[in-house]
Amino acid sequence: MPPSSPPPTDAPSLSNELRELAYRYGEQPVPLGNVLDTLGPRASALLVVICALPFSTPISIPGLSTPFGLVILLLALQYFLGQPPWLPGRLRRVVLPGTFFSRMLSASSKLVGWLERRLATRLHLLADAHWKLRLHTSVVIFAALLLMIPLPPLPPFTNTLPALVAVVMTFSALKRDGLGILAGYALFAFTVGYFVFWGAVVVETFDRYGGKLLALFGLNA
């Protein structure tokens, strides 16, 4: 999540920080705690992107959305509560495979670079106070909760949409880009509507065919 004050103008871009991280670790396995310790004052924002990016494409990655969503949730909650970034020992000891981590960083730096070229300080009234940034962080918290829900590959985009919300909102707040923040809220509203729609489809389907399926397996009351 964004620092409480804007980064200095001579601070390296986030995309460059990600490239430096990829160069430092190469393709060796990396504990998640080491990544957090290395990232510096913008660790929360960078780690949110690193954890969200694998799910920002329609390709499903089974088994990872819950632990990575938990990392995003913890970092966002800590920022919301005004605490420094921290992870419990069990999550710090999670080892990211070298090749996977290297590809994550490479893809992250490209996405971050694309966002950096398009985000700018505008409509700053939406991001000119710490309480407003905390409010925006609550959207990231809800997006992380949605990402953590263990769902099958169908329906599609149930990982992609929450991940994109986390990335867009985090970087828009970091850049103090009010227009980007509004886009993040719009994307979040669409994401919630998408989940509600598919939830209603599941409930309706079960109401129609659940009894027959239970009877087929001899489980009906």
With respect to residue 8, please indicate whether it lies within any of the assigned structural domains: no
Quickly count: other Cβ atoms within 10 Å of residue 4's Cβ.
10
With respect to residue 6, please indicate whether it lies within any of the assigned structural domains: no
Cis before residue 162, ω within 30 degrees of 0? no
How far apart (Å, rounded) are the C-alpha atoms in residues 167 and 206? 34
Return the structure tokens found at 116.
């950096």
How far apart (Å, rounded) are the C-alpha atoms in residues 121 and 128? 10
Higher pLDDT, 4 or 111: 111
Residue 142: what pLDDT?
A: 94
With respect to residue 3, please indicate whether it lies within any of the assigned structural domains: no
With respect to residue 64, please indicate whether it lies within any of the assigned structural domains: yes
Residue 210: what pLDDT?
A: 61
Residue 151, SS3 per DSSP:
coil
Alpha helices in the chain (DSSP H): 14-25, 32-39, 43-52, 65-80, 89-92, 98-118, 130-148, 160-174, 178-216
List pLDDT tens digits, range 35-82. 888 777 677 877 888 888 778 766 656 667 888 888 899 988 888 887
63-80 residues labelled b (16+ CB within 10 A) or e (exposed): eebeebbbbbbbbbbbbb
| H-run or E-run covering 30 | strand 30-31
**For the whole model, what pTM was predicted?**
0.81
- Torsion sign over Cα 170, 174, 179, 180: negative
Residue 5: what pLDDT?
A: 47
Q: Is the pLDDT of residue 217 over 70?
A: no
Residue 214: what pLDDT?
A: 60
Cα torsion at 184, 185, 188, 194 (round to 10°)? -120
- C-alpha of 160 from chain center: 9
Residue 96: what pLDDT?
A: 77
Helices 160-174/65-80 angle, 10° precision:
30
Number of domains into which the chain is organized: 1
How far apart (Å, rounded) are the C-alpha atoms in residues 206 and 144? 27
Residue 165: what pLDDT?
A: 93
The answer to whether residues 51 and 105 touch, using CB atoms and an 8 Å cutoff, is no
With bands split at pLDDT 50, 70 and 90, how would you rate the model's confidence at 219? low
Mean pLDDT across the stretch 196-206? 83
Higher pLDDT, 113 or 217: 113
Higher pLDDT, 215 or 4: 215
With respect to residue 32, please indicate whether it lies within any of the assigned structural domains: yes
With respect to residue 152, please indicate whether it lies within any of the assigned structural domains: yes
For residue 119, give its domain range: 14-216
List pLDDT tens digits, range 79-113. 888 788 888 888 888 887 777 777 777 777 777 78
What does DSSP assign to residue 139?
A: H
